[in-house]
Structure 1
Amino acid sequence: MAESRPSLRSLFLSARSKEAELQHVENSNSAYQELFQLAASTYEECRDLIERLAIFSRNETNEDIATSAIQYLSVDYLLAELLLKAYGSNRQKLLQQASSLLESFLNRLDSYELLSKQNRRLLDQYQENRENFHLASTTDAAERRRVKVARFQEEKSLKTKLELLRDKSAQSSIDEDTTRQLYFTELELFANQSFQSLDMIVQESLILLQAQSESQSSHPILDIRENGRSDSDGYSERLDGSVSQIARGGPLLSKEGRPLQPFTITDKRSQLRQGVFQPGHNLPTMTIEDYLEEEKRRGGIGDDGGERQKPPVEPDEDNIELADQETMKARAWDEYTEANPKGSGNTLNRG
């Protein structure tokens, strides 16, 4: 006998139960991942079964929906909110799946006229510009605060109403109208929270794209102009070709085992460890005493510690031409000082 498939109600209750258990498990635990995947797959089964059974139709109104089926309108929203709790390398993909589920949820509510005027206007704004959707202006702080306060008060009012309806539904004598009102109020609350999630998804997607572009731009881009053109025989237009090849870490040995460039075998780890606390500037290679001794040896410093001065050049009395030049230079200087007495050029302070 073939095993009977679980009903939509049992799948829905099972998914909600597994999602509630996630709140009591550490997200870093392997059990969390298993429970998360099980809850997500159960919600997916609910979605498939809803489509196969054709529970909802675009030709119906909200009054035509069976009371027991109203709660299944929230499956797309619940699965989207579950995916938003997952983080990993495929975060961008999860955000796209969640946004698609939230839009499907809102479109179905809109087809049954279960969206308020404000939420219907927000849905139009989202579908017009999905990549830049925001609940409020990002430049006007006062407007953003006003929208945030208004939506908070509306959400608080819906939660209060929902609690009262749940307390009333817990009684034994509950009528169908109260149950329908309970489900519709829950859907209205989910709709408000859907737009907040869409706003968050847009912001996080922009951050992820920006981080991805920055990580790609941080890698160096090779340019043939940097390396110069080289032929197959090894010729290069760069004058420092051989040096650049060594700097890039070319081969040390040829195929025959001959060294192609000088190298030293060192312990790289020890070398790096020794250089951790070294100063950033070049240290002197000799002491001051060694420098003074070297200067004395070269004759730059006398025995008394001062710099050695060159002895004055004695005039050559036998060189008549040199003596005439010195005489003419002295006469020219005397004529210049007689024609230009001291202070004659300073006319600024004269009355």
Structure 2
Amino acid sequence: MASSSEPQSLDAAFAEAETKRQTLEAVPATSPSYGDDLAALLSQYASLIDQVDSLALFSPNESIEDVPTSSLRYLPLHHTIAELVQRTPFSGNPKQRQLVLRSARDAYERFLALVDGYALVVGPHAKLLERYRDDEETFSVVSRHNSDMTARREAKIAAFKTEKGLREKLAMLRQDPRFEERDEEAVREVYLMDVRWRIHTAFEGLDSLNQELEMLRMAPVEGEEEDARWRGGGAVGNNSRVDGEDTTLRLDQPFQKSLLNKGGPLLSRQGRPLQPFTLVESRADIAKGVFRPGHNLPTMSVDEYLEEERRRGGILEGGTDPAPVVVDEDDAEAVDRETYKARQWDDYKDDHRRGAGNTLNMG
């Protein structure tokens, strides 16, 4: 059975590291001192693990019931290191970032191996661990090989509910007065619940770093990127740098350099184009395109456009009631026609009750 007596220095060092970790979590990653503080904290946690190993607090020959309550707090140390390593600021070098993520993966694996040895990885998490060990490079909490979008959505919802339930239960246990009074049973329950929470977030962390590794593998290597930017540059004096300044992104490049000198010949010896170019009749045509608006100017006014649309019949006119017909009282035939039409309409209204034709919507 592992020893239950840790020296005071281990407890004090752990408390100090936890305090610094909580302080660092409140500091933005863009802070100038963030990287140095993170490196110092990682070194401190690595020293804690060395002390735990030297004291043999955990043994593969014992069960979780054999581990003293005071030692349970040190079970997630590798998980804490994995999370901190994963927060290392990106230096801009994809290869270096891949090494950082693989270091975080190694810490997650050490944590999962330790808690799995105590049979703490159970239920859905046991299946996740089995899937991870089958293919650690492509592991994800929600399998990406499943083409059923509904099943994937339900799996994501289930994972979210599990995470929420563990977080709420852990918070509730920490608020228990017995835990605040350091009742051993309550303290042990909090420590074990914290381990269960860490097991869940470990798989989330492995999923996240696998996604990042996949993107980093597709990113161009720094040397290849430089080669692509300066390809065809020739001598040092023709590499688009002036006094150490990169001028390829400048908008105010010299006219000849920006349009006619892209850093190499336009055509190969066989006549193949080596870079895009535009044929113009003279250099004056190029000069005309320099000082011009940055947008396309209209080729006709609004009135001209409307007139053209009206001519083509593209504009509907009217839309109001037609003007009433004014009958010339001196035209006897026109007066008789209007009178006859009015009488016909009166006879029609007398013979047909209003609404008589409404057979579909009887009211």
User: Shorter chain as normaliser: what TM range?
Assistant: 0.5 to 0.7
5+ long unaligned stretches in structure 2: 1-6, 237-249, 261-276, 286-363
After TM superposition, list the pairs within 5 Å mapping 1:175-324 onto structure 2: 175-212=183-220, 216=224, 219=227, 272-275=253-256, 276=258, 280-284=278-282
Q: Which has the higher contact order (CA 8 A, sep 6+)?
A: 2
Give the aligned partner of residue 17 of structure 2. 15
Q: Output the amino acid matched with 1:177.
A: E
5+ long unaligned stretches in structure 1: 221-246, 251-268, 288-351
Q: Percent identity?
A: 29
1:274-314 Cα deviation digits (max 9, x unpaired) = 24589944243799xxxxxxxxxxxxxxxxxxxxxxxxxxx
Asked whether the equivalents of residues 25 and 31 of structure 1 are also in contact (C-alpha less than 8 Å), the reply is no
Please report how far the alpha carbon of residue 10 of structure 1 lies from its aligned counterpart in structure 2 after TM superposition.
1.5
Q: 1:152 to 1:219 in 2, by over 3 A?
A: same
Q: Give me the whole-angstrom Cα distance separating, in 1, the residues matched to 2:128 and 2:27.
A: 35
Q: 1:179 to 1:42 in 2, by over 3 A?
A: same
Asked whether the equivalents of residues 71 and 183 of structure 1 are also in contact (C-alpha less than 8 Å), the reply is yes
Q: Give me the whole-angstrom Cα distance separating, in 2, the residues matched to 1:150 and 1:79.
A: 27
Q: Give me the whole-angstrom Cα distance separating, in 1, the residues matched to 2:30 and 2:225.
A: 32
Q: 1:153 to 1:169 in 2, by over 3 A?
A: same
Q: 1:280 to 1:178 in 2, by over 3 A?
A: same
Alignment pair present for 1:152 and 2:160: yes
Asked whether the equivalents of residues 76 and 105 of structure 1 are also in contact (C-alpha less than 8 Å), the reply is yes
Secondary structure (helix, strand or coil) at the match of 1:100 reads helix
1:101-152 Cα deviation digits (max 9, x unpaired) = 1111011111111112221121121112111112122233222211111111
Q: 1:20 to 1:248 in 2, by over 3 A?
A: closer
Secondary structure (helix, strand or coil) at the match of 1:49 reads helix
Asked whether the equivalents of residues 15 and 40 of structure 1 are also in contact (C-alpha less than 8 Å), the reply is no
After TM superposition, list the pairs within 5 Å mapping 1:54-93 onto structure 2: 54-89=56-91, 90-93=96-99
Give the aligned partner of residue 312 of structure 1. none
Give the aligned partner of residue 320 of structure 1. none
Alignment pair present for 1:168 and 2:176: yes
Structure 2 residue aligned with 1:115, among 121, 129, 147? 121
Q: Give me the whole-angstrom Cα distance separating, in 1, the residues matched to 2:138 and 2:117.
A: 24
Asked whether the equivalents of residues 169 and 179 of structure 1 are also in contact (C-alpha less than 8 Å), the reply is no
Q: Give me the whole-angstrom Cα distance separating, in 2, the residues matched to 1:95 and 1:280.
A: 47
Worse-superposed segment, 20-29 or 275-284? 275-284
Q: Output the amino acid matched with 2:102.
A: Q
Asked whether the equivalents of residues 135 and 196 of structure 1 are also in contact (C-alpha less than 8 Å), the reply is yes
Q: 1:50 to 1:144 in 2, by over 3 A?
A: same
Give the aligned partner of residue 48 of structure 1. 50
TM-score when normalising by structure 1? 0.61
Q: Output the amino acid matched with 1:23.
A: E
Q: Output the amino acid matched with 1:32.
A: Y
* Aligned positions, number: 240
Alignment pair present for 1:35 and 2:37: yes
Q: 1:169 to 1:74 in 2, by over 3 A?
A: farther
Q: Output the amino acid matched with 1:17.
A: T
Q: Output the amino acid matched with 1:284.
A: S
Larger radius of gyration: 1
Q: Give me the whole-angstrom Cα distance separating, in 1, the residues matched to 2:282 and 2:222.
A: 42
Give the aligned partner of residue 329 of structure 1. none
Q: Give me the whole-angstrom Cα distance separating, in 2, the residues matched to 1:214 and 1:34.
A: 24
Q: 1:219 to 1:185 in 2, by over 3 A?
A: same
Task: Give the superposed CA RMSD.
Answer: 3.2
Asked whether the equivalents of residues 81 and 107 of structure 2 are also in contact (C-alpha less than 8 Å), the reply is yes
Q: Give me the whole-angstrom Cα distance separating, in 2, the residues matched to 1:187 and 1:171.
A: 16
Please report how far the alpha carbon of residue 163 of structure 1 lies from its aligned counterpart in structure 2 after TM superposition.
1.3
Please report how far the alpha carbon of residue 173 of structure 1 lies from its aligned counterpart in structure 2 after TM superposition.
4.3
Give the aligned partner of residue 331 of structure 2. none
Q: 1:282 to 1:43 in 2, by over 3 A?
A: same
